[in-house]
Structure 1
């Protein structure tokens, strides 16, 4: 941006939404830049905003000079489960610091960076808005220093065309080919094969294969439409999730929130 003011970022965001028919993203990763953040809040007020983990860790290194703190802080940032899990680990972390203003300030914004407070939000596995390392590595193989601007654009166009071609191949494979796992599939697996892309189905099948490791017990029902079940991994009997089934809406909800996050 030639002028980094709110109006310019608002224009950029609205231009981004135009080819998407005005459909706004449900979530986004932002940094601490007040101008950008205010523009995002103006254009995308109902999206869930997550602070970039990379920027938070950089600020932690600047403001906290205690050996081992940053490693422990990053682990706590990724703690899953109910917020109580995060709070317990955070209390233990505070024993390393005493009256640090930055630590207190970042804790007040925990809902914007702690994984435990974002279990119901989808971020496609991303916690940082830094440039994608995998995409950088792909482009780096084709682009060398010293190229003219014209050659650079030609190289990038060629690489993007190759990436799109692979995407088209995946679409054709999904429509025309059957999974090698089609033998002895359950009704659920057969249905998944019909609606998922080939890559998504292979991911789903791996998860489905783990089903036998879990034990399901009835807990209770409300006498109406809601039924509750307790699900335990047989290796971790003391760590359980609660699944709620609504037989009117035919919907499921699990306390692990993996349906929402994955």
Structure 2
């Protein structure tokens, strides 16, 4: 299980795999060889860097099915299906209105020790991504840059967690922070900078999340940009009043 889910680099995974195989005396088993040959499809070490936005393979479908099943039943006729599926769409749109309202009604309370970076997160990201980012900023406070190597056009920073020797990550960054990559590859997987990259930003006295690390799909204006690019206008007021959250309705009535 550790070999499967551990966030290791490939060489570390290979070392742990062969140590495990030798320990249990199964090096000559055909099924062990078959599993190892298919490692690119199940080992986190080989899947790292693929964008999954924290979803497992089937999670998107399961989440969508859970929403639709609240409105649509297998016994419905075609006309009933269309009517209830339309209700499902209205519910999804209402949740989107609620999320937009949460982003617009004010800023959340700053709770981390990295106030300037946290403020930058609030200004750029949606509220959901902000709350995800808070835990990353907290973990970044326990990170230390233990070594930095200047290779001319870029720097190689070695980052370690305080009190945990022997476990290091390498962050490669240009001096202007336009290109930043970490060996944990969580930026590539989830679309937000990891705590190791944040530690390097703190070391470099950077007060804002660099634009190169901000994925447009997580920003507050992502929907506006998408709508403009498609030439489609979607009016939130088309959502029936009965489906708009009461908190949003109250705010609308006050204005």
How does the TM-score come out when normalised to structure 2?
0.62
Q: Name the CA distance, whole Å, in 1 between partners of 2:124 and 2:104.
A: 10
User: Residue 228 of structure 1: which of 150, 153, 156 is its match?
Assistant: 156
Q: CA RMSD in A?
A: 2.8
Q: Decide whether aligned partners of structure 1 residues 93 and 171 sit closer, same or farther in structure 2, where only a CA change above 3 A counts.
A: farther
Q: Name the CA distance, whole Å, in 1 between partners of 2:150 and 2:48.
A: 25
Counterpart position of 2:87: 158
User: Residue 100 of structure 2: which of 149, 162, 171 is its match?
Assistant: 171
Counterpart position of 2:186: 258
Q: Name the CA distance, whole Å, in 2 between partners of 1:132 and 1:79.
A: 25
Preserved contact between residue 147 and residue 159 of structure 2 (Cα < 8 Å): no
Deviation of 1:182 after TM superposition, in Å, equals 8.0
Structure 1 stretches lacking a partner, 5+ long: 1-71
Q: Name the CA distance, whole Å, in 2 between partners of 1:153 and 1:93.
A: 55
How does the TM-score come out when normalised to structure 1?
0.61
Q: Name the CA distance, whole Å, in 1 between partners of 2:185 and 2:35.
A: 24
Preserved contact between residue 182 and residue 190 of structure 1 (Cα < 8 Å): no
Q: Decide whether aligned partners of structure 1 residues 171 and 96 sit closer, same or farther in structure 2, where only a CA change above 3 A counts.
A: farther
Cα deviation digits, residues 201-235 of structure 1 (max 9, x gap): 1111221122221222233222x232222222124
Cα deviation digits, residues 167-224 of structure 1 (max 9, x gap): 13212332342223389862222222111111111111221122221222233222x2
Q: Secondary structure at the match of 1:237?
A: coil
Q: Secondary structure at the match of 1:219?
A: strand
Q: Secondary structure at the match of 2:95?
A: helix
Q: More relative contact order in 1 or in 2 (CA 8 Å, sep 6+)?
A: 2
Counterpart position of 1:82: 9
Counterpart position of 2:129: 200
Deviation of 1:82 after TM superposition, in Å, equals 0.6
